[in-house]
Amino acid sequence: MNNEKLKVAYVAELDQDVDDIIAVQYLYDEGILDYVVLDPFPTQQDGKERMQILFDMGITVKRSIQPGTKTVFVGGPLTEVARYLRRNKLDTIVMNGGFVGCNIRENPIPKFKGKETVRTFNFNVDVDATDYVLKTSTDKLGQIILVGKNVCHDRRNSGTGLWGSEYYLNIFDNYNSNETKLQHDMLACREGIKILTGNADETYCEFEELYPFNDGLQKNMTKWGSKREPTEYRKVLAAVKYRKA
């Protein structure tokens, strides 16, 4: 599959952070954005202004995933994905979420040294939906690709690292995002595009098939990690580390 054939719906949370609007701009520029699902619909001024940007760009905005959708990229919670999967099928979801800890990864970044589990925002906004999606059988959801905190929080994931070209820096300037800001959602989008278009050898990260786990569902305090052996959750393709040290 090439970029011309790939079309994705993007689930965005616009109130909390500028990451999602930058990711939408990136998908739009790549020519693969079909429409945006706002979950939740913005209530704060920043979120409303970002939503207006989508309208001004001519991007289709929805409150839910539309019938016939095959691929969903997720920068927000999994609420709408879970709701969709109860009656529909998806080929793939690509998500900024999850965590690969020191039980898998050698030499993690300092903030995660010695940690096998951490709280992750997108998983925990609606932890029941996350629990449902991660237990969905492959006949209803073909593939889950996760780009989690272990790579997203690396300083390389910024305009001073991977995103230092003029194109990316101009995007950051357009949205008043500092070049040192970590670009969680855009990294997940780029890696997902490379994998789904047959260019997995061009990803910034190394991926491994792993099983998510937690220490028990505790709403937004739930801590998530990954294991090589089976857990109560299905297998996912998770970013483990960057290709270059």
> What pLDDT digit, counting tens, does each position of 133-187 carry?
999 999 999 999 999 999 999 999 999 999 999 999 999 999 999 999 999 999 9
Say yes or no to pLDDT of 244 above 80.
Answer: no
Say yes or no to pLDDT of 67 above 90.
Answer: yes
- Percent of the chain whose pLDDT exceeds 90: 95
Residue-range domains of the chain with CATH: 8-242 (3.90.245.10)
pLDDT computed for residue 224 by the predictor: 98
The average pLDDT across 215-243 equals 97
- Write the pLDDT tens digit of every residue in 200-217: 999 999 999 999 999 999
Going by pLDDT thresholds of 50, 70 and 90, the confidence category of residue 2 is low
- Write the pLDDT tens digit of every residue in 17-38: 899 999 999 999 999 999 999 9
pLDDT computed for residue 245 by the predictor: 52
- Write the pLDDT tens digit of every residue in 115-126: 999 999 999 999
Q: What is the chain written as a DSSP string?
A: --TTT--EEEEE-TTT-SHHHHHHHHHHHHT-EEEEEESSPP-SHHHHHHHHHHHHHT--EESSPPTT--EEEESS-SHHHHHHHTT--EEEEEEE-----TTT-SS--GGGTT-S-EE-HHHHHTHHHHHHHHT--TTTEEEEEEE-HHHHTSTTSSTTTTT-SHHHHHHHHHTT--TTS--HHHHHHHHHHHHHTT-GGG-SEEEEEEEEEESS-BTBT-EEEEESS--SS--EEEEEEES--
